[in-house]
Structure 1
Amino acid sequence: MNNLLSTFALGLGLSLTHCFFMCGGILILFNHNKSTYFDIFTYHFFRIIAYVLIGIIAYFLGYFINSLNLQIFLYFFLGAFCVFLGFALIVKGNLLALIENQFIYKKIILLLSNKKTSKYKGFIFGFLNGLFPCGLVYFFVAKSMIAKSFNEAWLNMFVFGLSTLPAMLLGGVFVKEIRKIKNIQYFLFALIIVYGFYLCYLALKLSR
């Protein structure tokens, strides 16, 4: 339970300082495109469903790697990735572009302007948004890969999805207030780096 609460708290803080400014363009365009409450509900529902499916796949991938007695490699790789991810989120620019490719983002924007997809836009855009390359999603996927159980893995991604709802639903209303706390993101990104070093420490400990 404590692990899920920390996931929600960290996801909430990171989403308010990163998710809205990254995915806000899609959400604003989606909401202004004659969206009903049902469209908005299905959009976020299938976005979270995508996160959960990714978490399940990550868990079984981690389980498979552990079955090959490569747990040390898994922890070290994920730890190094989290350190790199944290620094990439802090400095942004080309470094962040390596892991947050804009290909799917551009495809979603094109689909939103296509009237043929408007009938199912909540389902389509929500699920695609869940697959959008995002450093924060990668971080929580890493946590699912080393989860101790199947339920912990999918709940980790489910809770992360829930934690992004305030930013994604209310970000457009409180954008000025969100900008005021934007600098907090550097502290939260630093926590990702610390977590990465912790995983590397666990890998070193397992190797002894």
Structure 2
Amino acid sequence: MEVWTGFLVGLLGSFHCVGMCGPIALALPVFGEAKINLIIGRLLYNFGRIITYSVMGFLFGLLGNRVILFGLQQGLSITIGLFILVYVLIPKKFKAKLPELKFYKVVTNFIKINFAKLVSKKSSKSLFAIGLLNGLLPCGFVYVGIAGAISTGDAINGSIYMALFGLGTTPIMFLTSIIGKVLTFNLRSRINRLIPVFTFLLAILFILRGLNLGIPYISPKFEYPTANTIIQKVDTCR
């Protein structure tokens, strides 16, 4: 997956994320009395989120790299696409049960407890830390971003992919934290209706890439290194 698509996924996903992370953005404290501190604090918060996403991208990109070494990239790409399709097609009533899962409760409770502590401190460091925690919140679009990071097949590219994902979510989240409700309910509802369509197309792209059809950019041919190629590279590095 091309790393630039991370920004697109984040940008479109941000309209959905406002519903989950919007209350956190609105509740951010202000440190100091200078008006510029409001902007600095919100930027630090978003920078913290981007850092967390970047670390996640590095780790999952590293996982993708291991998959490539074992020649499983095609299967991984198809599997990711199918998982995203399943997520899109699952009825909302089942998705609504996600917060009832034990893992979800443990993560969200940890974030809520530490969020309350950090808000009371009202410092630049606490705002950055809130952003770091916010990046750990379970979110469907973050999972889509992680899938993209894995498909890059490289730790660095995975990190860049998720950093761009975070940057894509920043404009709406930043404006929400500054001026409150940026989007009207009707406009956000219309945009949210398009998100499943975009996610569906992204899933199809993952599946097509895994099918190895030789279509440039959409389904390029995977070239796996042979054992002799790997041995030659090792000898060259000696």
Distance 1:8 1:143 in 2: 11
Q: Give, as a single letter, the amino acid of the residue that structure 2 aligns with 1:27.
A: A
**How does 1:33-44 map onto structure 2 within 5 Å?**
33-35=29-31, 37=37, 38-44=40-46
Report if aligned partners of 1:58, 1:141 keep a CA contact under 8 Å in 2: yes
1:50-69 map, 5 Å: 50-69=52-71
Q: Which residue is equivalent to 1:98?
A: 98
Deviation (angstroms), 1:116: 9.2
1:153 matches 2:148: no
The 2-side partners of 1:87 and 1:189 are apart by 9
Alignment deviations for residues 102-138 of structure 1 (CA, whole Å, 9 cap, x no partner): 5433333322333797254223221111111111111
Distance 1:178 1:145, change over 3 A: farther
- The question of 1:201 aligning with 2:208 is answered yes
Alignment check: 8 A CA contact 1:58 1:144 kept: yes
Report the number of matched residues: 199
1:21 Cα deviation (Å)? 0.8
Give the counterpart of 2:25 among 24, 27, 36.
Answer: 27
Q: Is 1:180 equivalent to 2:186 in the alignment?
A: yes
Distance 1:161 1:55 in 2: 11
Matches of 1:142 and 1:185, distance apart in 2: 21
Deviations for 1:157-176, whole angstroms, at most 9, x for unmatched residues? 11111111122111253626
In structure 1, the gaps of 5 or more residues are none
Amino acid at match of 2:130: F
**More deviation in 71-80 or 100-109?**
100-109
Greater mean alpha carbon deviation, residues 7-16 or residues 67-76: 7-16
Q: Offset at 1:154?
A: 2.0
User: Is the radius of gyration larger for structure 1 or structure 2?
Assistant: 2
For residue 111 of structure 2, what is the aligned residue in structure 1?
A: 108
Conserved 8 A contact 1:26-1:109: no
Task: Work out the CA distance in 1 between the residues paired with 2:207 and 2:139.
Answer: 22
Q: What percentage of aligned pairs have identical amino acids?
A: 25
- Residues 115, 192 of structure 1: CA spacing in aligned structure 2 closer, same or farther, 3 A cutoff? closer
Q: Residue 198 of structure 2 is aligned with which of 191, 195, 203?
A: 191
Tell me the alpha carbon deviations over residues 142-186 of structure 1, each in whole angstroms, 9 at most, x when there is no partner. 111111655432221111111111221112536263423222222
Q: CA deviation at 1:49?
A: 0.4
Distance in 2 of aligned mates of 1:62 and 1:96: 30
Amino acid at match of 2:185: R
Structure 2 gap ranges (5+): 214-238
Residues 32-59 of structure 1 deviation map (CA, whole Å, 9 limit, x = unaligned): x344535433322121000001111111
- Counterparts of 1:119-158 in structure 2, within 5 Å, are 119=123, 120-147=125-152, 149-158=154-163
Q: Tell me if the contact between 1:108 and 1:128 (Cα under 8 Å) persists in the aligned partners.
A: yes
In structure 2, the residue corresponding to 1:177 is in which secondary structure?
coil
Write the letter of the residue equivalent to 2:111: I
The answer to whether the Cα contact below 8 Å between 1:42 and 1:126 also exists between their aligned partners in 2 is yes
